[in-house]
Amino acid sequence: MVKLIFLGPPGAGKGTQASRIADFYQVPHISTGDILRNNVAQKSPLGLQAKEYMDKGDLVPDGLILDMVEERLKKDDAQNGWVLDGFPRNVAQAHFVEKLLSASKNGNDTQEEKAEISNSLMVINLQVPDEVLVGRLLSRGRQDDNEETIRNRLKVYDRQTQPLIEFYKERQQLVTIDGNQSVDAVTNSLKLSVNISS
């Protein structure tokens, strides 16, 4: 069973690689952005709540996103595994994922079960040097992308994600992959890493 979380700064190729690995293992590629858009489009109860915040220009609260992720991971197509992209974003959300996984056992967190959860989950950290990321993001040519805003986004990402990386390192769930290779080379590195651990 493949349960993967993808971490990586903007421009690291996270979405591309998450999608390729999900296709390879025939499990759903779940991105929080997609979950949110789908719930809003389908006018689900959670989507309607989220739309109220979005219409006001407010951020959708964490609690709502967590509910949507939980609902998505319980769907039939996710029972043999999944690839999560863009979630969790912080340690509180990482604890939530851990609780979800243990609840899907039987809720009693014995040491054996904790070990089993650790073994079933892998966290991929795509590492790419800042200079390469800046170059990639500038070449995409989005209107609001200039070097200063990109460097600031990368700093914010590092600050927010470092605690998450430490969290998964402590649990020995983190695998760091060199994202500064061709798209195919990164995919091959990922397949090797996932196979070794599964």
Q: Known catalytic residues?
A: 14, 89, 140, 142, 153
Edge-to-edge strands, sheet with 2-7: 29-31, 81-85, 2-7, 121-127, 174-178
- Who contacts 138 (Cβ-Cβ below 8 Å, separation ≥6)? 145, 146, 147, 150
Angle at the Cα of 65 from the Cα atoms of 62 and 108, rounded to 5 degrees: 90
**Other C-beta atoms lying within 10 Å of the C-beta of residue 101:** 18
Handedness of CA 34, 89, 132, 144 (dihedral sign): positive
**Coil, strand or helix: which one is 145?**
coil
**Cβ atoms within 10 A of the Cβ of 117, count?**
21
Are 140 and 17 in contact by the 8 Å Cβ rule? The answer is no
One-letter amino acid of 191: K
Residue 103 CB-half CA count within 13 A: 9
